[in-house]
Amino acid sequence: MDTNKRPETMERITTPALADAFIKEQVAALREQIGDKKVLLALSGGVDSSVVAALLIKAVGRQLVCVHVNHGLLRKGEPEQVVKVFRDEMNANLIYVDAVDRFLDKLAGVADPETKRKIIGAEFIRVFEEEARKLDDIDFLAQGTIYPDILESVGVKAHHNVGGLPEDLKFELVEPVKLLYKDEVRVVGKALGLPDSMVYRQPFPGPGLGVRCVGAITRDRLEALREADAIVREEIGKLPETPWQYFCAIPDVQSTGIRYVDGEGKRYMGWAVIIRAVNTVDAVTATVPEIPFAVLCKMRDQIVRIPGVNRVLWDISEKPVATIEWE
Ligand code: XMP
């Protein structure tokens, strides 16, 4: 039997009761597969790896070792949330790796998008591999592979894929959600008690804010981007219907601003932040939803208070011609 093929008879998991049945079945299967051995998981905090972590914690508790790599390109509050949810609330065996300086040093001065992606992907594997080598007696590697990843020959998840580990670190794979579609993973995540902010997170690229900090990443622009992104997620997130993806990008461009000091206008250069919101079904094409002007203004008023920022733009480009991300 091809274990990578979803049986036609498999019912779509749409309700909490179906999710509970799936969880029960998977927990038993994971216990059977893993026994008293240890499992390693790269836990990004995205919905897929989070659901896999929660399933494994339920099945084998602290035999699961989660490694969370903070590469400095995550959204505001994300690394903290991973620690809070998994270590503090679920008592997970979690290794938190602060690799911020390491990634940003490697990326310093690199402006080409594909080179940036390659550096982030390769460095991620290197950091994960180093952590794996520090641990003894690991037999299994868990992955948040989902069914669309199997269906697409080249998944967009290549960056998070730790399939690039060297030969002597090859573990047996544990992929408990590999036959599920994204909406099913969310139903299961909800049934496992994960917070809504994790379960209904919008898609976020593997290289994270790295591809939204356009050109060579600098810490000041990256921090401004992280703050602006948090504002946009908060404000657009309050709309009755939220777009598929909404975020900010920060180009490597400064423009003139003016500040009044004692009635006298002083000109200075500041960064421009771009707000981007799109609707799509499959990310192949995308349209731009209407955002009420009052909401745009509310975001603008907060974003221009971020140090170094003096201009806010709204990107109304559709895909095609533009891609969703700026890089
Ligand atoms: P584009 O910019 O190609 O984006 O229109 C389509 C979707 O893919 C996401 N994206 C990525 N996801 N690694 C990822 O895991 C990447 O390098 C990457 N680049 C783009 C993007 O956020 C959008 O949802």
Beta-carbon count within 10 A of 7 CB: 9
Here the tokens at position 162 are 């730790």
CATH of the domain at 74: 3.40.50.620
Query: Does the residue 161 lie in any domain?
Result: yes
185-213 pLDDT, tens digit per residue, is: 999 999 999 999 999 999 999 999 999 99
The answer for residues whose C-beta is within 8 angstroms of residue 240's C-beta and 6 or more apart is none
| Domain interval for residue 282 | 212-315
Query: Does the residue 11 lie in any domain?
Result: no
- With a Cβ cut-off of 6 Å, ligand 1 is lined by 117, 156-157, 159, 203, 205-207, 211, 245, 283, 319, 323-325
What amino acid occupies position 106?
K
> 281: CA distance to ligand 1 center in Å?
13
Boundary of a domain, candidates 184, 202, 220: 202
- Alpha helix stretches (DSSP H) within the chain: 16-34, 47-60, 78-82, 100-107, 113-134, 147-151, 182-191, 196-199, 219-236, 293-303
CATH of the domain at 304: 3.30.300.10
Query: Does the residue 324 lie in any domain?
Result: no
Give which of 295, 203, 291, 199 is closest to 244, Cα–Cα.
Answer: 203
pLDDT score at 163? 56
Residue whose CA is closest, atom 22 of ligand 1?
A: 205
Query: Does the residue 3 lie in any domain?
Result: no
Query: Does the residue 265 lie in any domain?
Result: yes
161, 25: one domain: yes
Query: Does the residue 172 lie in any domain?
Result: yes
pLDDT score at 127? 97
Locate the ligand 1 atom nearest the alpha carbon of residue 157 and give its number.
15
Give which of 212, 198, 219 is closest to 90, Cα–Cα.
Answer: 198
Residue whose CA is closest, atom 7 of ligand 1?
A: 283
> 325: CA distance to ligand 1 center in Å?
6
Boundary of a domain, candidates 140, 168, 202: 202
Long-range contacts of 9-15 (CB under 8 A, 24+ apart): 10/179, 12/181, 12/184, 13/180, 13/184, 13/187, 13/188, 14/183, 14/184, 14/187, 15/187
Residue whose CA is closest, atom 16 of ligand 1?
A: 205
pLDDT score at 157? 46
Locate the ligand 1 atom nearest the alpha carbon of residue 160 and give its number.
15
pLDDT score at 153? 57
> 324: CA distance to ligand 1 center in Å?
7
Q: What is the DSSP letter of 271?
A: E
Q: What are the residue ranges in the chain where pLDDT is below 70?
A: 153-163
pLDDT score at 169? 82
Say if CB 311 and CB 257 are below 8 A apart. yes
> 212: CA distance to ligand 1 center in Å?
11
Query: Does the residue 63 lie in any domain?
Result: yes
100, 177: one domain: yes
Q: How many CA atoms lie within 13 A of 73 on its CB side?
A: 28
pLDDT score at 158? 46
Instruction: Give the predicted TM-score (pTM) of the model.
Output: 0.93
Query: Does the residue 233 lie in any domain?
Result: yes
195, 217: one domain: no
141, 20: one domain: yes
| CA atoms 308, 311, 316, 320: torsion sign | negative
For 2, the 3-state DSSP assignment is: coil
43, 131: one domain: yes
pLDDT score at 2? 85
pLDDT score at 170? 83
Boundary of a domain, candidates 182, 202, 222: 202
Here the tokens at position 93 are 């065996």
The answer for residues whose C-beta is within 8 angstroms of residue 300's C-beta and 6 or more apart is 312
Locate the ligand 1 atom nearest the alpha carbon of residue 280 and give its number.
24
Here the tokens at position 41 are 């998981």
Mutate to test the pocket of ligand 1, among 123, 156, 248 (most ligand atoms within 8 A of CB): 156
97, 170: one domain: yes
Locate the ligand 1 atom nearest the alpha carbon of residue 245 and give its number.
24
Total structural domains within the chain: 2
232, 250: one domain: yes
172, 254: one domain: no
Say if CB 69 and CB 208 are below 8 A apart. no
The rounded distance, in Å, linking the Cα atoms of 67 and 227 is 25
45, 184: one domain: yes
246, 177: one domain: no
Locate the ligand 1 atom nearest the alpha carbon of residue 206 and give its number.
15
